[in-house]
Each structure stands twice: as C-alpha cells, then as structure tokens.
Amino acid sequence: MITNCEVVKPRVNNAEDISQFNEEEQSPFVKRYKTLLHPGEVTRIRELPQKSTIVATHNNSPNVLLWDLEAQPNRLPVNGAPASRPDLILTSHGKGAEFALAMCPTEPFVLSGGRDNSVVLWSIQDHITSLGSTKGSPKLGPRVVFEGHDAIVEDVQFCPSSAQEFCSVGDDCRLILWDVRSGNAPVVKVEKGHNADIHCVSWNAQNENLILTGSVDKTVRLLDRRKLIAGGVVWPIHVFEGHKGPLISIQA
C-alpha cells in the first residue's frame, strides 16, 4: 500500500481541538495513493536508494520480487482478484526466502538470504530503466551466489559505503563478512556470534567498524569488525540484555 503523507508544521493546539480528537478516525494527513495485490504474504520490503519508486519484496517463495510503484496499476482488494504482476523476478534460491533482504546504498544491487543456506547477489543496473515497460514478469539470474552458512540465513546487510562488502547472519549462530572482490568465499566467518540463532544484523552508518546483531538468546551484541575472530568465539564490545523474547529486527 502506497500513501501520501503530509508533514504538518508544528503548531499549538487549543483546548477545543484537543477535546475533539478521536484516535480511531483516519488521519486527514495520510491518504492512500495506490494498492498492489501481492502474491502471498509480504514478509520484507526494501526500497532502492537510487530510485525510491522501485522496491523489492520477499514472501515465502524462493524468489525476490521487484516492483516499479509508479508503473504498477492501482488495484482494488476484492475477493478473488488475481495478484499484481511484479516487474522483475530475481531467481536463484533453491528454497523459500522470507526475511533476509537488503538494497545496496551505493549501487543498484539486491542481496538476499534464504532457507537454502545461501546468500545471493543480483545487479539490476541494466533493468532499472525498463521496469514497468515490459509485459509479464521477466526473470533475472544472480551475479554471485555465496555459500558459507549451514542453516537458514535470517538477515543480510550491505556495508554503508561499499557495494562490494556485506554481512549475513543465520540460524547456525554465524556472523559472516563477505567481499565480492575476494570471490564467493567468506572473508571472516565467526562460528559463535551468539548462543542461539541470529535473526538480525545492522551495520552502523556513522562508524563502519561497528555491527549490531540480535539473537534468539535475547541479547543484542555490539561488535567491532576489526576484532572479529574467524572461526572462533567473538568477543563483543558490549552485550545488551533485557528482552523477554527473541530479537526480530534492530537498527544501528
């Protein structure tokens, strides 16, 4: 669902305006612009920084779906209506891919992780201008497939300033750092990043040596990539505790 949001200038409300406020009424400052009927549950959505009208989505299928929001027709969510057709389908995963999805901040690259234990990188550079102009849903194969996890890849993240470097975490408790320039083998593989499945990772945009990870062990760990120990137990800068359940998402 795409909405237009009007950012209201700061103002002082009088007592009468406050007394008439009803939190159940729809805000006049948020208006729905367009609706797409997604094929299956939307489990993750990411916007392409180089062109904000292009987004990628995950559901429980092996594919990543790309959408040109401007070109897509508005749909009415009625029973029995067929799903909207994506503008491009990114293929390669052998099993479902639900949550691990990232867009590169510097280049039109898409990164995904899935139940096949792999991390997949696509370049959509040659397809940006044609999205929305072709009939059907053309398919695009990967640029590189990275193998290094022994369980589901739960999250992936690009280095904020590099299209070549990224990291991944998964249910094997591993944190892996990758560099395309080094091939498809891990640069650093931390075997014991947490004491349980690692569900989320976030790379600090202000200090690229700092990485946050969150786990089913209910902790958040702040790591310095300069001090990561390949193949061993990682010693974090700090461990944050207090959550009552597993971590699903974090932001550095």
Q: How confident is the model at residue 31 (pLDDT cuts 50, 70, 90)?
A: confident
Report residue 85's pLDDT band, with 50, 70 and 90 as the boundaries.
Answer: very high
Is pLDDT at 63 greater than 80 in this prediction? yes
Structure confidence at residue 129 (pLDDT): 82
Three-class DSSP category at 14: coil
For the segment 62-90, the average pLDDT, to the nearest whole number, is 93
The residue among 58, 173, 71 whose CA lies nearest residue 120 is: 58
Mean pLDDT of the 110-115 span = 97
**Structure-token match 């208006």, residue found:** 31
C-alpha 174/C-alpha 252 separation (Å) is 19
For 183-196, how does the pLDDT look when each residue is reduced to its tens digit (9 = 90+)?
999 999 998 889 99
Whether pLDDT at 22 is above 90:
no
* Mean pLDDT computed over 156-177: 96
Q: What is the pLDDT of residue 242?
A: 66
What domains sit in the chain, N to C, each tagged with a CATH number?
Answer: 43-241 (2.130.10.10)
Residues 6+ apart with CB under 8 A from 182: none
Structure tokens at 10: 């700061």
